[in-house]
Amino acid sequence: MTHFLDINATDTSDLKSIMSEAHRIKAARAGKTKGALDDEKPLDGHMVALIFEKPSTRTRVSFDVGVRQMGGQTMVLSGSEMQLGHGETVADTAKVLSRYVDMIMIRTFEEATLLEMAEHADVPVINGLTNRSHPCQIMADILTYEEHRGSIEGKKVVWAGDGNNVCASFLHAAGKFGFDLTFTGPEPLDPEMGFVEEARAKGVNVEIVRDPVKAVEGADLLVADTWVSMHDAPSARERRHNLLRPYQINDELMAHAKPDALFMHCLPAHREEEVTNSIMDGPQSVIFDEAENRLHAQKAVMRWCLGK
Ligand code: CP
Ligand code: NVA
């Protein structure tokens, strides 16, 4: 069974072929209206379950549209409205869904839920975000970088803020796509050291720099994300904001990066918190290309999972 569970769990050669397929898929849609089907319909006759245990705009719509463009159909399921949210085991849910659908995408809290789903499903399972990672987002981000600047290999990516799930997937991707990663944020919100060590063991230059100005020197790409993720306790908001405020991406900080550095944010953003409007809406921002590229990258991921 070919699951897409994490970037560090996927072979480098597979990731690179998914990426080149994503470029091809995007180019093939040039000039088509949004509702049009693709010329090739590899998901014709396929049903895909999209399970959400957390809110979503981009993941939900991009997977749904992507499946339909490829000729398949979707079923969007809210975790709380399923028996899954009322005590049925993940394993039983996986076995039952496998009798109905051809692929499962799940956004959940614990990584263990994703892994249990994959272990017991007879169909491919895709990670649509857990508390620990968000691999589809980073596939879209690399596609976006490559479109604007060419290969990301050897480039300097700076993650500013919370060392969260999206940061973890950037760390995983650094080892696969060969870019340097600098984390700048407060020590209590460092990324998982296991992921840092795993990347370093693969030869990745991972640096942790507390001073954001020093961190962004020579950066090709600056990345921000929310200071309070969906899995964080709302009561932690004030503490997190106080810790993270010095790491806001604004014009002053951006001025220390390379003049052609790009800015990315997976969205949703909290404008004037982790990033200013001037950066979000400025010439270096590629945030809406990232959002669009979720569609193209995930279509390539789904085709790979199904061997299509
Ligand atoms: N970036 C992202 O995953 O957005 P959603 O939470 O809207 O799906
Ligand atoms: N880190 C954020 C990403 C949202 C797409 C969260 O988990 O809420």
Q: What is the pLDDT of residues 132-172, one digit of tens each?
A: 999 999 999 999 999 999 999 999 999 999 999 999 999 99
Q: How far is the CA of 65 from the centre of ligand 2 (A)?
A: 21
Residue 267 CB–ligand 1 contact under 6 Å: yes
Distance separating alpha carbons of residues 15 and 23, to the nearest angstrom: 13
Whether the complex's predicted ipTM is more than 0.90 is answered with yes
With a 6 Å cutoff on the Cβ, whether 137 touches ligand 1 is yes
**pLDDT on residue 212:** 98
Place of tokens 């997937």: 169
**pLDDT of 211-240, one tens digit each?**
999 999 999 999 999 999 999 999 999 999
Residue 211 has which token pair? 């001073």
Q: Is the pLDDT of residue 4 over 90?
A: yes
* Fold (CATH) for 32-132: Rossmann fold (3.40.50)
Report the nearest atom of ligand 1 relative to the CA of 134.
3
72, burial (CB in 10 Å: exposed 0-12, middle 13-18, buried 19+): buried
- Please report which ligand is nearest the Cα atom of 298: 1
Does ligand 2 lie within 6 Å of residue 169's CB atom? no
Name residues whose C-beta falls within 8 Å of residue 255's C-beta, 6 or more positions apart in sequence: none
29-41 pLDDT, tens digit each? 999 999 999 999 9
Stated pTM of the model: 0.98
Task: Write the residue with the smallest CA distance to atom 1 of ligand 2.
Answer: 229
**Do residues 176 and 15 make contact, with C-beta atoms less than 8 angstroms apart?**
yes
Cα gap 247→74, rounded to integer Å: 40
Ligand 1 center from residue 277 Cα (angstroms): 19
Q: What is the pairing mode between strands 125-127 and 47-52?
A: unpaired
Which amino acid is it at 125? Answer: V
Three-state secondary structure call for residue 109: coil
Q: How many residues does the chain have?
A: 308
Instruction: Name the residue of 171, 244, 266, 274 whose CB sits within 8 Å of the most ligand 2 atoms, as the mutation to test its pocket.
Output: 266
Q: Residue 144's Cα: distance from chain center in Å?
A: 12
CA distances, 192 to each of 75, 175, 195, 274, 277 (Å): 34, 15, 5, 20, 30
Domain ranges of the chain: 32-132, 135-290
Catalytic residues: 107, 134, 137, 225, 266, 294
For residue 258, pLDDT over 90 is answered with yes
Which atom of ligand 2 is found nearest the CA of 267? 5
Fold for the domain defined by 135-290: Rossmann fold (3.40.50)
Q: State the DSSP code for 275.
A: B
Strand bridging mode 262-265 / 73-78: unpaired
Residue with tokens 């020579």: 218
- CA of 141 from ligand 2 middle (Å) equals 14
Ligand 1 atom 6: residue of nearest CA: 56
| Dist. CA 69–CA 48, nearest whole Å | 13
Predicted pLDDT at 204: 96
CA of 40 to the centre of ligand 2 (A): 33
> Is the Cβ–Cβ distance between 134 and 166 less than 8 Å?
yes
**Residue 4 CA, ligand 2 centroid: distance in Å:** 18
Q: What does the pLDDT average to over 123-138?
A: 98
Q: Distance (Å, rounded) from C-alpha 289 to C-alpha 147?
A: 9
Residue with tokens 């969906």: 230
For the annotated binding site for L-ornithine, the residues are: 165, 225, 229-230
Ligand 1 mutation pick, 51, 53, 59, 107, max ligand atoms within 8 A of CB: 59
Evaluate: CB of 127 within 6 angstroms of ligand 1. no
DSSP state of 250: -
Say if residue 56's pLDDT is above 90.
yes
C-alpha to C-alpha distance for 300 and 182, rounded to whole angstroms:
28
Q: How confident is the model at residue 85 (pLDDT cuts 50, 70, 90)?
A: confident
The answer to whether 293 and 144 have CB atoms below 8 angstroms apart is yes
